[in-house]
């Protein structure tokens, strides 16, 4: 090695680091967004998966009931209905704020809402206050979705966007592996010590307090290190004009997604109730099944993210539709000892998630990307907002078998619509 090489090792190391970052579709801005997704997601998943069971116990306490009844089920359905309406508004509002304030400013605004939600949750132990707090907290993800898409679209090349969204999906999935395990054991321990209602109340408060601390840490990181990005050029484009600029393939994908998300949201908020109250599993066992679900999903992201660069995006999106449809059917078909199979299928439905996001990002013009992403997600969310209310009604009328069978039917129709959309776009 000559003297110049020995005296100037820095550029070589820097170039190697830059090459690795490029190969991984990773950079500083994407890194801060992913860290935010990880920490906010970890806090959210400490309590959110068990919120339907907690609302159910609160409703029973208010009604002085000790059984599953229509009122308690309706509370869960109402919570999910309001959540979807609220999230639909958040997608639009988040897109507008992101377009106007850029990534850093919008993330700080959205994170502050989350902190307020945690404070309301801890201060007022009543079902109505719990739903209000949950809306404020869970609004962070739909508010921040446009930020993620604009960041990846602005800083990552088109052929590597599938891989970038694979990293984002991993950051979302890691908390869903770790947090339900922790939460399940905490709630189980508190329930054994204090009884069902008091134990769940104390356990949820402990978990929400931990989540509040994570949210504050995330805000500090964003404030200190998140780079600023200029607002979008067409921040004031009317929504009708934004929709008109969506390519036909995305409009067809949206129609297929609405049907498949009806399959998902018919049952999503009732899976925990079904497994714990109908099948008789414990909170800790439910936490283990959730962890398995998200571990399976996580294991698909990077391999699929790399494969999308060679084979394209659409085949993996089709697999997502297949597994969405299969989950409710498998869940009601297998005995308790085989419930792990149902939750493995639940995890495999994420196999095409990075590909779907990359397709949407690439299809929406750069100058309206934040508004376009927000509009796409809001239309989908408004369209499926009634699904959980319908799910509660189906359970009340015909039991869980009718509910999960109806979800399977929606999933099959959604798959067929996507296959048609794929064919006509060729």
297-356 pLDDT tens trace: 888 877 776 776 677 778 889 999 999 999 999 999 999 999 999 999 999 988 888 888
Beta strand spans in 323-373 (E) = none
Alpha helices by DSSP H, 364-386: 369-384
Average pLDDT of the chain?
82
**337 CA to centre of own chain:** 28
Q: Would the pLDDT of 141 be above 70?
A: yes
Q: Which of 254, 266, 269 is nearest to 324 (CA)?
A: 266
User: Please, how many CA atoms are within 13 Å of residue 339, restricted to the half-sphere of its CB?
Assistant: 19
Q: 290-311 in b/e burial notation, b at 16+ Cβ within 10 A?
A: bbbbbbbbbebbbebbbbbeee
Residue with tokens 């109250």: 277
In contact, 276 and 53? CB cutoff 8 Å: yes
Query: Which pLDDT score, from 0 to 100, does residue 21 have?
Result: 47
Structure tokens at 230: 């200029």
Beta-carbon count within 10 A of 182 CB: 16
Regarding predicted confidence, which is higher, 128 or 388? 388
Q: What sign does the dihedral 281-282-288-293 (CA atoms) show? A: positive
> Residue 156 gets which letter from DSSP?
S
Residue 238 main-chain phi, psi, to 5 deg: -60, 150
Number of H helices, E strands in the chain: 18, 0
pLDDT of residue 94: 83
211 touches 79 (CB < 8 A): no
pLDDT digits (tens, 9 = 90+) for 207-255: 999 999 999 998 888 787 776 666 555 556 788 888 998 989 899 999 9
What mean pLDDT is predicted for residues 99-113? 81
Integer angstrom CA distances of residue 354 from 93, 218, 263, 312, 426: 24, 24, 20, 12, 21
Is the confidence at residue 133, as pLDDT, over 80? yes
**Residue 3: what pLDDT?**
43
Long-range residue pairs from 69-75, CB within 8 A, at least 24 positions apart, any chain? 70/396, 73/270, 73/273, 73/392, 73/395, 73/396, 74/392, 74/396, 75/127
Spatial neighbors of 289 by CB under 8 A, at least 6 apart, are 275, 281, 339, 340, 343
The 3-class SS string of 40-64 reads HHHHHHCCHHHHHHHHHHHHHHHHC
């Amino acid at each position: 090695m000559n003297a110049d090489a020995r005296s100037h090792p820095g550029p070589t190391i820097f170039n190697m680091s830059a090459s690795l970052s490029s190969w991984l579709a990773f950079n500083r801005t994407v890194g801060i967004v992913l860290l935010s997704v990880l920490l906010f997601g970890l806090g959210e998943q400490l309590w959110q998966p068990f919120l339907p069971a907690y609302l159910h116990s609160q409703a029973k306490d208010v009604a002085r009931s000790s059984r599953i009844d229509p009122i308690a089920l309706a509370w869960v359905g109402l919570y999910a209905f309001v959540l979807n309406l609220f999230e639909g508004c958040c997608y639009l509002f988040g897109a507008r704020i992101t377009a106007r304030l850029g990534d850093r400013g919008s993330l700080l605004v959205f994170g502050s809402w989350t902190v307020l939600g945690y404070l309301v949750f801890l201060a007022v132990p009543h079902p109505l206050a719990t739903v209000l707090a949950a809306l404020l907290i869970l609004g962070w993800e739909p508010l921040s979705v446009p930020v993620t898409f604009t960041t990846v679209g602005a800083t990552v090349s088109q052929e590597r966007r599938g891989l970038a969204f694979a990293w984002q999906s991993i950051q979302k999935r890691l908390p869903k592996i770790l947090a339900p395990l922790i939460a399940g054991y905490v709630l189980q321990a508190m329930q054994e010590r204090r009884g069902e209602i008091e134990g769940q109340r104390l356990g949820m408060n402990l978990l929400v307090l931990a989540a509040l601390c994570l949210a504050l840490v995330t805000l500090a990181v964003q404030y200190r290190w998140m780079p600023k990005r200029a607002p979008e050029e067409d921040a004031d484009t009317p929504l009708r004009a934004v929709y008109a600029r969506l390519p036909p393939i995305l409009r067809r994908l949206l129609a297929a997604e609405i049907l498949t998300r009806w399959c998902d949201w018919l049952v999503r908020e009732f899976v925990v109730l079904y497994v714990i109250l109908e099948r008789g599993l414990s909170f800790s066992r439910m936490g283990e099944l959730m962890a398995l679900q998200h571990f399976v999903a996580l294991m698909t992201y990077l391999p699929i993210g790399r494969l999308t660069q060679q084979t394209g995006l659409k085949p993996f999106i089709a697999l997502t539709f297949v597994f969405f449809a299969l989950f409710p059917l498998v869940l009601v078909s297998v005995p308790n000892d085989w419930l792990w199979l149902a939750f493995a299928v639940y995890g495999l439905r994420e196999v095409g998630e990075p590909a779907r996001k990359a397709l949407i990002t690439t299809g929406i013009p750069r100058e309206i990307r934040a508004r376009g992403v927000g509009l796409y997600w809001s239309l989908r969310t408004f369209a499926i907002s009634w699904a959980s209310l319908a799910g509660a009604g189906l359970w009340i009328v015909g039991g869980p078998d009718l509910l999960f069978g109806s979800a399977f039917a929606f999933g099959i129709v959604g798959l067929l619509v996507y296959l048609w959309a794929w064919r006509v776009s060729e």
